[in-house]
Structure 1
Amino acid sequence: MEAALKTFFSSPRFAVAGASSDPSKFGHKVFAWYLTHSLPTTPLNPRSPSVSVLFKDHTTAPSPSALENPSSYSLSIITPPGVTKTLLKEAKEAGIPAVWMQPGSFDAEGLEYAKKEFKAVIAGPGGGSSEGEWCVLVDGEEGLRVAGREGSRL
Structure 2
Amino acid sequence: MEAAAKTFFTSKYYAVAGASQSPHKFGYKVLHWYHEHSLLAIPITPSQPSISIASTTYPTIPSPSALSHPTETSLSIITQPSITKTILKEAKEAGVPAVWLQPGSFDDEGLEYAIREFKAGVGGDGGRGGEGWCVLVDGESCMQAAKEETREKL
Give the TM-score normalised by the residue count of structure 2: 0.93
SS of 2:62's partner is coil
Q: Is the 8 A contact 2:114 2:122 kept in 1?
A: no
User: Is the Cα–Cα contact under 8 Å of residues 30 and 136 in structure 1 kept in the other structure?
Assistant: yes
1:60 matched to 2:56? The reply is: no
Structure with the larger helix share: 2
In structure 2, the residue matched to 1:109 is: 109
Match of 2:136 in 1: 137
SS in 2 for 1:147: helix
Q: Is the 8 A contact 1:19 1:45 kept in 2?
A: yes
| Farther off after superposition, 2-11 or 48-57 | 48-57
1:42 aligned onto 2:42: yes
Distance 1:118 1:46 in 2: 24
CA contact (8 A) 1:2 1:146 kept: no
Q: Percent identity?
A: 61
Structure 2, gaps ≥5 residues long: 149-154
- TM-fit CA distance, 1:145: 1.1
Counterparts of 2:74 and 2:20 in 1: how far apart (Å)?
A: 18
Q: For residue 119 of structure 2, what is the amino acid of its counterpart?
A: K
Q: How many residues align?
A: 148
- 8 Å Cα contact 2:115/2:122 also seen in 1: no
Any idea what SS the aligned residue of 1:11 has? coil
Mapping of residues 5-154 of structure 1, within 5 Å: 5-131=5-131, 133-148=132-147
Residue deviations 1:67-98 (CA, integer Å, cap 9, x gap): 10211100000000000000000000000010
Instruction: Read off the aligned partner of 2:103 and give its amino acid letter.
Output: P
The alpha carbon displacement at 1:55 in A equals 3.7
CA contact (8 A) 2:78 2:102 kept: yes
Separation of aligned partners in 1, 2:20 and 2:129: 21
Contact kept in structure 2, 1:20 and 1:52, CA below 8 Å: no
Could you list the runs of 5+ residues in structure 1 that have no partner in the other structure? 150-154
